[in-house]
Amino acid sequence: MKRREFITLVGGAAAAWPLASSAQERVKRPRVGFLMHLTPGDPDAMARIAGFLQGLQELGWATDRNIQIDYRWAVGQDELYRKYAVELVALQPDVLVTTVTDTVRALQRATRTIPIVFTSVIDPVGSGLITSLSHPGGNATGFSLFEFGISGKWLELLKQIAPSITRVAVLRDSASTRGVGQFAAIQANASSFGVELLPLDAQEGSDINRAIGAFAGRAGSSGLIVTSSPTALINRDLIVKLTAQHRLPAIYPFRNFATGGGLTSYGPDLIDPHRRAAGYVDRILKGEKPADLPVQAPTKYELVINLKTANALGLDIPATVLSRADEVIE
């Protein structure tokens, strides 16, 4: 979604609100706090929020009429997760909406009573955020991104696309259970594909630059798996640039990496759960409890292949892989 469209959708209604009648102004609007782990202005972040707002509009909620939304942008930083979680809870919203494991955890530390709807959590039970998928318990529910097992599929696809690779680096955030869990799932499959697996730990852009450069400088036919993390998403343009610079075949967790020049991606649609989260917000505002709303899994996984990048790397994508692709970029 273009920045202009996002601004129109999110902010344009603000100008119309003062025109409402005084009687309407006296009616208390439900309040939603939204803690986003990405940066303001990031096209991916704007598209996710626009999807959420679209879902609300389809259910009769509009920011210029009957609902208020307060946003905070944590830009992938732990200290901002904690700071903004406290700020949003202090506003006493009716519902909190957030994205990844770390932001949910920060909000749960700040409140155990205000309902929380999350959109992009990996293995919420294993992460300790809920007690079960069918009956979450507590004050949080929402949408899981994927289970750790999908990480093994990344290695399988990478070997199919670049069969000569013998060394594979895994870019991860080792400070989170998410990063450790994804690496463990990949590691469980490494021996069956005859590759040496190396973790690359990175929590900021300078770490990524250094880690990929050092790995690519070693001998051997090499490839890269980029796992899901806020760090990777925020620095996706840098990662794609480095893989091209070092001629590394790479697979990524989300479509926006491949459309941005990455070789291939396999993962869920990131916009859909935000649109669907609006339904849970609607149900909670009408009296339902998050403890009784089951956590929902993705409805579809997308395989995207960038043929332009494949040609630049001298790779001939097998027809069997191309036939399974949901999108081929030429």
Q: pLDDT of the chain along its 330 residues, tens only? A: 444 454 455 544 434 444 443 444 456 899 999 999 999 999 999 999 999 999 999 999 999 999 999 999 999 899 999 999 999 999 999 999 999 999 999 999 999 999 999 999 988 998 899 999 999 999 999 999 988 888 899 999 999 999 999 999 999 987 777 788 888 889 998 888 989 999 999 877 788 999 999 998 775 699 999 999 888 999 999 999 999 999 999 999 999 999 999 999 999 999 999 999 999 999 999 999 999 999 999 988 999 999 999 999 999 999 999 999 999 999
Examine the domain organization and report whether 19 and 109 are in the same domain. Answer: yes
User: For residues 321 and 279, what is the distance between their CA atoms, to the nearest angstrom?
Assistant: 35
Amino acid 174: pLDDT? 75
Local structure of 194: helix, strand or coil = coil
Examine the domain organization and report whether 84 and 160 are in the same domain. Answer: no
- Residue pair 310/243 in contact (Cβ under 8 Å)? The answer is no
177: containing domain = 150-268+302-329
Examine the domain organization and report whether 28 and 104 are in the same domain. Answer: yes
Examine the domain organization and report whether 320 and 293 are in the same domain. Answer: no
Amino acid 219: pLDDT? 59
Both tokens of residue 254?
Answer: 């989300």
Sequence-ordered list of residues with C-beta below 8 angstroms from that of 205, at least 6 positions apart, any chain: 235, 238
How many domains, in total, are found in the chain? 2
Examine the domain organization and report whether 179 and 96 are in the same domain. Answer: no
Amino acid 123: pLDDT? 87
Examine the domain organization and report whether 51 and 139 are in the same domain. Answer: yes
Identify the H or E element spanning 116: strand 116-121
Examine the domain organization and report whether 189 and 325 are in the same domain. Answer: yes
Examine the domain organization and report whether 136 and 193 are in the same domain. Answer: no
Strands 222-226 and 68-73: unpaired
Relative orientation angle of helices 177-190 and 150-161, to the nearest 10 degrees = 50
Place of tokens 């994927």: 146
Both tokens of residue 80?
Answer: 């901002």
User: For residues 236 and 42, what is the distance between their CA atoms, to the nearest angstrom?
Assistant: 11
Amino acid 27: pLDDT? 63
Q: What is the pTM of this model?
A: 0.85
Amino acid 271: pLDDT? 94
Examine the domain organization and report whether 254 and 283 are in the same domain. Answer: no
Whole-angstrom CA distances from 37 to 45, 77, 198, 294 are 9, 8, 27, 23
Residue 187: CATH number of its domain: 3.40.50.2300
- Residue pair 1/48 in contact (Cβ under 8 Å)? The answer is no
Of the chain, the end-to-end C-alpha distance in Å amounts to 21
Examine the domain organization and report whether 67 and 161 are in the same domain. Answer: no
Examine the domain organization and report whether 241 and 155 are in the same domain. Answer: yes
Examine the domain organization and report whether 73 and 121 are in the same domain. Answer: yes
Both tokens of residue 284?
Answer: 């909670």
Amino acid 2: pLDDT? 46
